[in-house]
Amino acid sequence: MEQDFLQFQHITKRFPGVTALDDVSMGVRPGEIHALVGENGAGKSTLMNILGGNLQPEEGEIFLEGRAVRIASPIQSFQMGIGFVHQESNLLDNLSVYENIYLGRELTGGLGRTDKKRMCREILACGQRLGYQLEPERRVAELNLAERQSVEITRALLANPKILILDEPTAALAEDEVARLFQNVRQLKEQGVSILYISHRLDEIMELANRVTVLKDGKLVGTLDREELDKDRMVNMMVGRVLEDIYPDRSQVRPGGELLTVRDLTIPGKLDHVSFTVRAGEIVGLGGLEGQGQRTAVRAVFGDQRFSQGQIAVEGTPLSGGIAKRIRGGVAYVTHDRRGEGLVLTQSIRKNSALASLRRLASPVGWVRESQERSEVQGHMEGFQIKAASMEELVSHLSGGNQQKVMLTRWLMTKPRVLIIDEPTKGIDIGARMSIYQIIHRLTQEGIGILMLTSDMVELIGLSDRTLVFYEGKIVQELSRAEITEEKVMKAASGMTEEEAG
């Protein structure tokens, strides 16, 4: 058997009140894709931050190529050939792409001056190899999430790493961008780079990984070889349940009357006479490939997109105007980008939760009734089991799953009739997903209608009572819970007619 290139031996890391890693040992072979999985809080990021030089263990050793090393800082980790692409962008918005990529390791010319042209050339050459179209002199503030990640990956790869850590690398990517990333990861593997791949998406793990290590509550559960990989087995190791138990049983759901009615919604070049309904207690899922009009439709319903034609009504009352009027009309929207356009990361759970309900919580003279605000937020924190020291804790300190629950709290405090959830479990672990699914199920039992947009096919099939498949700005097929299959959704999403699909 090939000797491990990297070894963690008996790594233990403690924080006040919690042991984040407890005697963890594992190895990574040269040129393998080694996935690291587990719930939020399992210790994955802590272990990677120790390898990246951001944290120091209380106990244990790290071996590189058989030699014990102490990684005292991120710079030292970088110098040892370890590249780290973090889940959350570490780029500086006020600097250009090339300035971010070469920050702290600028290339210089003969007189010691920064060699801007050479840096830009190397970025363009690397981007060409990877299939990225980076503009080296463009400011990072102007980039979208996928472009930012391509900058992070380029920065890591220009250092010619021996080990590359990818933490949730597909969270912000469209389907074609995911395919390109996978191609690049496989190329790096062929070049002998060891890949440490962290993801909550088990389908990705099944497709890419040579081996998988599972952590739970800071402890090593075990490592599976390629031939042992099985989604049920991984889920059971992570949370103690099998895949079938993840989704609530909605076979007995009997939706009520129409809550949301959308008729002939049209935005030239984006939506073409889109019509649908959502009934009380029903989950309507929107499926299709990225960028086919689904997100445009839900944002139009929420008042964030103007439309040239169409009508939107809640319980028969037409909706018009912008977002504030839609909220008062009973519509709420949980965005797919909770950190970018959803949460105020510098504010507390309480302030984030109450943000959309300040008008309702205000007294006649305009002061927020703080006792009522605290009572409502506390009730949701308990009901949703948000893990935090108090409601005054900053949301930036929370896990992805708990941040998502804060987003749900914010919009449920507006007392909506229709709740739009855009990517309900993006970037959160399997245990938190199960909790979110149960919350959504419970909301429908209270009579709320759910309009759900998700790029996760298993999630779409597992949750939706009806599924509307979009293609080129139109709804091309409607599938009931009894009818839906992955094959039917993919054929419709690819533009095949029902006759062509057979």
pLDDT tens column, 371-402: 999 999 999 999 988 988 899 999 988 888 88
Query: Which residues of the chain fall short of a pLDDT of 50?
Result: 501
Distance (Å) of CA 478 to CA 14, 218, 252, 287, 295: 51, 44, 20, 10, 17
Q: What is the largest CA-CA distance in the chain?
A: 76
Tell me how far apart the alpha carbons of residues 214 and 233 are, in angstroms, rounded to a whole number: 11
Of the candidates 422, 475, 500, the residue with the CA atom closest to the CA atom of residue 487 = 500
B/e letters for 69-91, b = 16+ CB within 10 Å, e = fewer, are eebeebeebbebbbbbbbbebeb
What pLDDT does residue 408 have? 93
248 Cβ contact partners less than 8 Å away, ≥ 6 residues apart: 437, 438, 441
Question: Any idea which fold 6-242 has?
Answer: Rossmann fold (3.40.50)
DSSP code for 146: H
Whole-model pTM above 0.85? no
Scan for tokens 């395919």, then name that residue.
Answer: 179
Q: Which CATH architecture has domain 246-329+454-502?
A: 3-Layer(aba) Sandwich (3.40)
Predicted local confidence at residue 159, as pLDDT: 81
**In this structure, are residues 306 and 312 in contact, taking their beta carbons and an 8 Å threshold?**
no
| Beta-carbon count within 10 A of 247 CB | 17
| Separation of CA 264 from chain center | 31
Alpha-carbon gap, residue 56 to 149, rounded angstroms: 26
The residues pairing with 467 across neighbouring beta strands, listed in sequence order, are 285, 479
Domain with CATH 3.40.50.300 in the chain: 6-242, 246-329+454-502
Give the integer Cα–Cα distance in Å for 55 and 53.
6
Return d(Cα 140, Cα 154) in angstroms, integer: 14
Q: In sequence order, which ranges of 302-456 are alpha helices (DSSP H)?
A: 323-328, 349-354, 358-361, 370-384, 400-412, 430-445
Record the tokens describing residue 292, joined without a space. Answer: 């086919």
- Identify the pLDDT of residue 48: 92
Token output for 500: 């062509």
